Amino acid sequence: MTPNALSGAWLIARKDLTIELRTRTAFLSALLFALLAIVIFYFSWDPTAVPASDLAPGVLWVIFTFSGLLGLHRSFGVEQQDRAIDGLLSAPVAREAIYLGKALANLVFVVGIQIVAIPAVALFYNVAVIPVAPALVAVALLAAVGLVAIGTLFSSMAVNTRLAELLLPMLSLPFFVPVVVPAAQATAKLLNGRPMAEVAVWLRLLGAFDIVFVAVCMLAFPFTIEE
Amino acid sequence: MTGSVAVGDTPGSRTRTGIAPVVDWFLVAASAAVVGTLVRAVAFTPVEMRQGPAQKIFYIHAPAAWVAFLAFGLVAISGLLYLWLRDPRLDRFAESSAEVGVVFTTVVLITGPMWGRPVWGTWWTWDARLTLTLFLWFVYAGYLVLRGAIDNQEQRARYSAVLGALGALLIPFIHLSVYLFRTLHPQPIVMKPGAPSLPGEMLVTLLIAFASFTLLYVALLRARYRLAEARGALAYQEGGDA
């Protein structure tokens, strides 16, 4: 990864974030979706049988997964208009830089949702997140990297098919499992006040998965945008 | 998947498109071998002492799982080879193997709960191997949907090669992340360090079942490959006309 590729990636991320900042359609709808889902999940369990704090970790990760997909779909969806992707491909940047830039913009998107959704879950589900905040941020960030690494690759594939919106979750969700399982487990342990050593195991697993997924998806990405 | 026009088809797809034989004798022989194996399993193999007749489903379940893993492994390998060599025959092989693999995985997922209910007392459990098989089914069913959603032959081959290879990579990760749950599923009994822990006659039946199911896999793969080849040739002709 040369400095040139990194600055190329940064430029692409900035381009995507500027588009999103000016239109705000995807982010606001994903955010609204996340808040709605938080509320609806609350009513889909019997509150006398299951305490709300036990549901919170599961709710959080279901929401991040699905609202993240909304942003991921848009990631390469915006390049479809007027074949903007051709301009990107003919730009003097490496394919890996395009992947990194897209993934970085998607990461900002998912983290943006987390910044609102985690306090919302803390509020509605009456969970004390302040004492475990640093560790929770680490879990959320590590898992977001994994989700985005996988989702960016599949987004680039799905937009070129006839079933774009449907195919992205169909392809991504099975691959999200190894990320969501440790993330949800770590979140549950944190919110239940378990010792840090139990959480650290899952954090290390998440970190290892992230490294593999980012590397593999970056290697596979150039094959999805050959013309 | 569909017979739609594939514009980017390569001349390689024109090779060897002879008319398929009326009766696929290889497929008939393989089916007969599987039927023979099941007859042996039901009538001529001792009944397991504790599980009773329910254990007979083992002779379908285990070999079907073996074939499913073999099929998906070959999808992944041919996908990687395709990304390197760009030979459309590799793509047709991967397509055929994935479809046969999904069928066998479906058999595993249906026979598993049927066996689990009387023996474990539950239809399903989120054990590492069950979860893994279920997600393999999801990935490769998605693989078939992906193929159906792309018209361009070259692009379809490239995308499915990427997904096919990633699907195999997913196995250790799901296994690792779900492994924490204590497992109900029996540990390997044949392919393990040390001697197989199965009585002689049952072991023979099991090995015959592995062989005949593998034979059926090859026969179905052959038939499906012929279909893929014919479709490729048709698409090429239609593309050439247009």
> pLDDT tens digits, residue range B75-121?
999 999 999 999 999 999 999 999 999 999 999 999 988 888 888 88
CA separation for the pair A102, B119 (Å, rounded):
50
Q: Residues of chain B with pLDDT > 90: what percent? A: 50
* Highest mean pLDDT of the ranges A53-57, A80-84, B183-187, B223-227: B223-227
| Tokens describing residue B167 | 């699907």
Contact check, Cβ <8 Å, B162/A205: no
Cβ contact A178–B174 (<8 Å): yes
- Tell me whether 0.90 is exceeded by the ipTM: no
Taking each helix axis from N to C end, the angle separating B153-178 and B88-120, rounded to the nearest 10 degrees, works out to: 30
Name every residue whose Cβ is closer than 8 Å to that of residue B25 and which is 6 or more positions away in sequence: none
Q: Using a CB-CB distance cutoff of 8 angstroms, which residues of chain B are in contact with residue A205?
A: 176-177
Tell me which long-range contacts B222-225 makes (C-beta under 8 A, separation of at least 24): B222/B24, B222/B26, B222/B27, B223/B24, B223/B27, B224/B95, B224/B96, B224/B99, B224/B100, B225/B92, B225/B93, B225/B96
| Best A85, A153, A175, A224 residue to mutate vs chain B (most B CBs within 10 Å) | A175
pLDDT at B199: 76
Q: What pLDDT is stored for residue B18 in this prediction?
A: 56
| Å between A163 CA and nearest CA of chain B | 6
User: Which whole number is the average pLDDT over A90-95?
Assistant: 85
CA distance A21 to chain B (A): 31
* Model pLDDT, residue B100: 96
Question: Could you tell me the residue ranges of all domains in chain A?
Answer: 3-224
Number of Cβ within 10 Å of residue A11's Cβ equals 14
Interface of A with B (CB under 8 A): 153, 157, 160-163, 167, 170-171, 173-175, 177-178, 181-182, 185, 205, 209, 212, 216, 220, 223-224, 226
What pLDDT sits at residue B187? 62
Cβ distance of A175 and B166 shorter than 8 Å: yes
Which residues are B48's β-sheet partners? B52
Per DSSP, B52 falls in state B
Separation in Å, CA of B139 to nearest CA in chain A: 6
Nearest to B149 among A163, A174, A182 (CB): A163
* pLDDT tens sequence across A27-78: 999 999 999 999 998 888 877 788 877 888 889 999 999 988 988 988 888 8
Least confident window among A44-53, A105-114, B30-39, B173-182 = B173-182
- Region of B150 (left: φ > 0; alpha: ψ -120 to 50; beta: rest) is beta
CB within 8 Å: B138 and A157 = no
pLDDT value, residue B24: 87
Hey, what are B133's tokens? 């098989």
Structure confidence at residue B73 (pLDDT): 94
Are B209 and B63 in contact by the 8 Å Cβ rule? The answer is yes
Interchain pair B142, A185: CB under 8 A: no
Mean pLDDT of B138-145: 95
Pick the range with the lowest mean pLDDT from A74-78, A93-97, A139-143, B194-198: B194-198
Q: How confident is the prediction for chain A on average, in pLDDT? A: 89
C-alpha B73/C-alpha B79 separation (Å) is 10
Cα B57 versus chain centre, distance:
18
B174 touches A: beta carbon within 8 Å: yes
Tokens read off for A180: 């969501």
pTM summary value:
0.85
- pLDDT on residue B174: 78
Q: Would the CA dihedral through A121, A62, A158, A99 be positive or negative?
A: positive
pLDDT digits (tens, 9 = 90+) for B21-60: 678 889 999 999 999 999 998 888 888 877 888 888 889 9
User: Could you tell me if B36 lies within 8 Å of chain A, comparing CB atoms?
Assistant: no
Per-residue pLDDT band at A217 (split at 50, 70, 90): very high
Alpha-carbon gap, residue A18 to B224, rounded angstroms: 49
Say whether B166 and A178 touch across the interface (CB within 8 A): no
Distance CA A34, CA A26 (A): 12
Residue B140 pLDDT more than 60? yes
Q: A24 pLDDT exceeds 90?
A: no
Question: Looking at the predicted structure, is the pLDDT value of residue B15 above 60?
Answer: no
Measured CA to CA, the distance from residue A80 to residue A71 in angstroms comes to: 15
